[in-house]
Amino acid sequence: MKELQLFKKDGIAVVSSRVVAEDFGKRHDHVLAKIEEKIATLKFGALSWFIESEYNDAQGKLRKEYLLTRDGFSFIVMGFTGSKADEFKIKYIEAFNAMEKAHLQPKTTAEMFAMSSQIMLDMERKLNVQEKLIAENSKKVESIKEVVALNTANWRSDCRDLINKMANSIGGHNAYQEIQREIYKLTEQRAGIKLEVRLTNMKHRSLGRGMSKSAVAKLNKQDVIADDKKAIEIYVAVVKDFAIKHGVA
């Protein structure tokens, strides 16, 4: 019997669909059709049995072929009948097993040492990744604790610091303005108020009380919020929600 044409693809023993067609006396296009018919019905894991590839035909044109793993080969040729077909099946299965066994069993002490070293490196790499994830998660938990602990005593400065950190993490000054607008908007929704309207009224009242125009011009929505205990609590809660969302403390 002719020598079987198996080879390694990314460390896995495979055989070309062209070779299967030739050895089993089939037309290659028929074998391709059978493979693609099976691919259409297989679950995701089994799709790795068939690796789509290309080859140059006698005219130098690129043509499609598939590289079949042992499972892919067995799946496709199980329907091929005849004594010659059975003989080829046995030979191919033995060849696949031999190649996989050779791959799994190092022949030298050097190969065994190399495999052990690689296993140790992989384990160390995985441990480093796990330690990093644990550290990051711990940092996130501490950040959330700090945010939750934020109270209304120094709400202006504390909230400003948090918004600055959020802005720095996503874009700087322009991001600060955008985040502040969103926080004001959500505060209005939760409190059922209009900050701009209240600010206008506050300015009129302040002018009536004799406050200078320059001082009145400096009044802002923070002053409106400071004038309402409920609004302060809602504003602080909204800032906390945004800080946790952006993972800062």
Each of the 249 residues of the chain gets a pLDDT tens digit; together they read 445 677 888 878 888 999 888 888 899 999 999 889 888 887 666 678 889 999 998 898 999 999 988 888 888 888 787 776 777 778 777 777 777 766 555 555 565 556 566 766 776 777 677 767 666 655 555 555 556 556 667 888 888 888 888 888 776 667 888 889 999 999 999 999 999 999 999 999 999 999 999 999 999 999 999 999 999 989 988 888 887 777 665
In this prediction, residue 97 carries a pLDDT of 76
Residue where one domain finishes, among candidates 49, 80, 104: 104
Q: Name the domain boundary from 116, 139, 162.
A: 139
Using CA atoms, how far apart are residues 11 and 23, in angstroms rounded to an integer?
24
The pLDDT score that the predictor gives to residue 160 is 86
Are 183 and 231 contained in the same domain? yes
Instruction: Quickly tell me which residue has 């059922």 as its tokens.
Output: 192
Q: Are residues 164 and 236 in the same domain?
A: yes
Question: Is 145 a domain residue?
Answer: no
Residues 14 and 97 placed together within one structural domain of the fold: yes
Specify if 2 maps to a domain. Answer: no
The answer to whether 220 and 203 have CB atoms below 8 angstroms apart is: no
155 and 242 part of one domain: yes
Is-above-0.95 flag for pTM?
A: no
Kindly state whether residue 24 falls inside one of the protein's structural domains. yes
Q: Which of 173, 193, 190 is nearest to 241 (CA)?
A: 190
One domain for residues 133 and 180: no
Look at residue 1 and tell me if it is in a domain: no
Residue 201 CA to residue 203 CA, distance in Å, equals 5
| Neighbouring C-alpha atoms within 13 Å toward the C-beta of 131 | 6
In a domain, 144, yes or no: no
- For helices 70-77 and 83-104, give the axis angle rounded to 10 degrees: 170
> Is 126 within the bounds of a domain?
yes
Q: Whole-angstrom Cα distance, residue 73 to residue 96?
A: 10
Q: Say whether both 84 and 54 belong to one domain.
A: yes
| Both structure tokens of 100 | 């996989």
State whether 187 and 231 are in the same domain: yes
Q: Are residues 160 and 199 in the same domain?
A: yes
Examine the domain organization and report whether 159 and 235 are in the same domain: yes
Q: Which domain holds residue 193?
A: 150-246
Do 11 and 100 reside in the same domain of the chain?
yes
Residues 95 and 62 in one domain: yes
Q: How many domains does the chain have?
A: 3
222 touches 156 (CB < 8 A) = yes
Beta carbons of 203 and 219 less than 8 angstroms apart: yes
Last residue of a domain, one of 90, 116, 139: 139
14 & 92 share domain:
yes
